[in-house]
Chain A
Amino acid sequence: MNTVQFFGLFNYWVVIFLMMVGFYMIIARHNFIKKVIGVNIFQIAVILMYITMGKIHGGTAPIVKSEIAQHFAHHESHEDDSHEHTSSDGSKAEEHPFVDTTVYSHPLPSVLMLTAIVVGVGTTAVALSLIVRIREDYGTIEEDEALAMDRAQS
């Protein structure tokens, strides 16, 4: 692997770094809030991975340009006037010599990540509310202290 390849994968190095940071925090920290932050960092690493795979070099945001949309809209209304219904794609292509040459980034991974972000927010909300209850019941948010209290009791 040469230098160019190495830096070409820059995003993925960041993904792996963040993933390990989050993972380490979940395992090694005793403070529950810090663990939640670890879970969040861990999830953000995955989100970054998805976003990176959707990005195409030189690609623009996946929104059809207005002049292209207008061209097609115009053409479609024309088609409706003449009552010509072409069903097969082949004949349609002949009628549309206009080709959109814009390079778009892939929108799907970003959309998937919207769902993943929602899931992440839900997880964080549940985790934080559980921590509030642990604080009420144990008077601490340190895992080792809470476990020690349970051991002492039983």
Chain B
Amino acid sequence: MRNHLPILLVVVPLIAAPACLLLGNRRLIYLFSLVVAWLTFANSLRLLATVLVSGKLRYNIGNWAPPYGIEFVADPLSAFVAMFVSGMAAAVLAYAPRLVEVEIPAEKQHYFYSLYLTCLTGLLGITLTGDLFNVFVFLEISSLSSYALISLGKDRRAVLASLQYLFIGSIGATFFLIGVGLLYQVTGTLNMLDIARRLQELEIVNGQGIVMLASTRTLRVALAFMTVGLGIKMAVFPVHKWLPNAYTFAPNVVTCLLAATSTKVAVYVLIRLIYGIFTLEFSFDLLPMRYELILLSFLGIFTASLAAIFQSDVKKILAYSSVAQLGYMVLGVNLISAMGLSGAIVHMFNHAVIKGALFMVVGCFALRLGSVQLEDWRGAGKRLPWTSFAWVLAGLGLIGVPLTAGFISKWTLLLALAQEETWFLAGALVVSSLLAVVYVWRVVEVLYFGQPSQKVLEAKEAPLSMLVPTYGLILVMMVFGFWTEYSLGIAQQAAATMLETATMLKEVAK
């Protein structure tokens, strides 16, 4: 049973998704998918516990030995990402039913739950698979279901945003596929570990005589294609245009799920690619990827934070803030130190929790006020005290105030920058957090110091069934703000394993 955990994580929601459509009753479908989501979360916790105790877990699908068969690999990093992805999916689903009733037409609700589980399948598949082509397939499973989920939004602009996301997302996925093809062309294998090993060992004959495979141009092109493709999927600065509209016009429940999980999974693939397949020397010495990505992440942090400050739609504020926060993760990945990498990994987790909580608050307001325009939220602090206070708490986390989880990740990144003695960048990181203060404060000011709008006067407090999951996530955020053994601790272990892989591969070459 324990050995089958990696595959169970993917197979259970995959089978449950079509099974949802067979159950006739809406209530029943909801309960069924809720059970499946929490079961998946429980499985992922067990998987994480197993991996942390006994190390890497490899699972051959259909008992075909790799590299001929496809294998699933659970190491600390992938188990950690799978844990918070399934955890957030379970939490959002527990929060969802009231909003789904209001936001999604009755005849489409069973499709919603089915698509939700399909999306979860894709996201978990990406984290656990050890096969590069499989990553592409799962990437498309999760993307296609998220296009459909976004288009469930009531506003007609949701469909437009979804289609625009589809076009740019397909370009991203196809770019990734080109990269996989080029890699396969030179290594003859799709298994990640096998590719990594062969890149270090193989030599080829070209115009300059016998050279290492790793020094050929094909490989550089492959890495470039894959990085750009993943960059589109994770909405890194210059290719982030799809994200604000997709997040804004999607149903609130869908935004909660996507904001908390999908972009992080793309960051995970980037980490795996840079550290686990290509080595550090290749990614950062042969290609000047490091400086470009650090530059882009800082440009992203600043432009997106500034854009967030001037939005009048709260969902857009948070969407732009997501682009900015993603910059922090990409920054951490490219610092190469153990500290920087663990900062990036822990920020994936912390930001998933914080952004999930914030979008849940938005959902509560949307349910009671029927609007996500900042204008309509005026003076809600008195009429919806619990919901408003949840925004304040989660907002503090987003800024990175001490005693919240957001502080831990930003502090780790700051230490990593200090370690490299890049004081200019460290200063920029602090300044960028001040921008977050501005856009979080704008909403707080409207909530507590504005004259109540007409909509607020008619509204009452959000239902308990939605406040409890929201405060649950906020509690998680607070707890991991000072007790970091299971967030930063695991992230450090995951970073250490990834760096070990990188050095191990170097040893193989010698």
Contact = CB atoms under 8 A, between A and B. Distances in A.
Interface of A: 23, 26, 32, 35, 39, 42-43, 46, 49-50, 53, 109, 112, 115-116, 119, 122-123, 126-127, 130-131, 133-134, 137-138, 146-147, 150
B171 interface: yes
A119 B159 contact: no
Contact of A42 (B133, B148, B163, B174): B174
Q: Is the interface of A mostly helix, strand, loop or mixed?
A: helix
Contacts of A43: 170, 174
Contact of B148 (A32, A49, A53, A126): A126
Contacts of A119: 136-137, 140, 144, 173
B178 A46 contact: yes
A127 B148 CA distance: 9
A112 B166 CA distance: 22
A134 B159 CA distance: 7
Contacts of A150: 157, 160
Contacts of A112: 133
A53 B177 CA distance: 14
B170 A39 contact: yes
A53 B181 CA distance: 9
Interface in B105-136: 133, 136
Given A109-B184, A115-B137, A126-B144, A49 B162 contact: no
Contacts of A109: 181, 184
A32 B163 contact: yes
Interface of B: 133, 136-137, 140, 144, 147-148, 151, 156-157, 159-160, 162-163, 166-167, 170-171, 173-174, 177-178, 181, 184-185
B185 A123 contact: no
Contacts of B156: 134, 137-138
Contact of B184 (A23, A53, A126, A137): A53
B140 A122 contact: yes
Contacts of B166: 123, 126-127, 130
Nearest to B147: A126
Given A126-B148, A130-B166, A137-B159, A26 B177 contact: no
A123 B140 contact: yes
Given A35-B167, A46-B178, A130-B151, A53 B185 contact: yes
A122 B144 contact: yes
B225 to A, nearest CB: 10
Given A46-B181, A53-B181, 9 more contacts: A32-B163, A42-B174, A53-B184, A109-B181, A126-B166, A130-B159, A133-B151, A146-B160, A147-B160
B38 to A, nearest CB: 29
A121 to B, nearest CB: 11
Max count, chain A CB within 10 A of own CB: residue among B133, B136, B151, B159:
B159
Contact of B163 (A46, A50, A53, A131): A131
Contacts of B173: 119
A137 B158 CA distance: 11
B151 A46 contact: no
A46 B172 CA distance: 13
Nearest to A127: B166
Nearest to B151: A130
Contacts of A115: 133, 137
Contacts of A137: 156, 159
B159 A46 contact: no
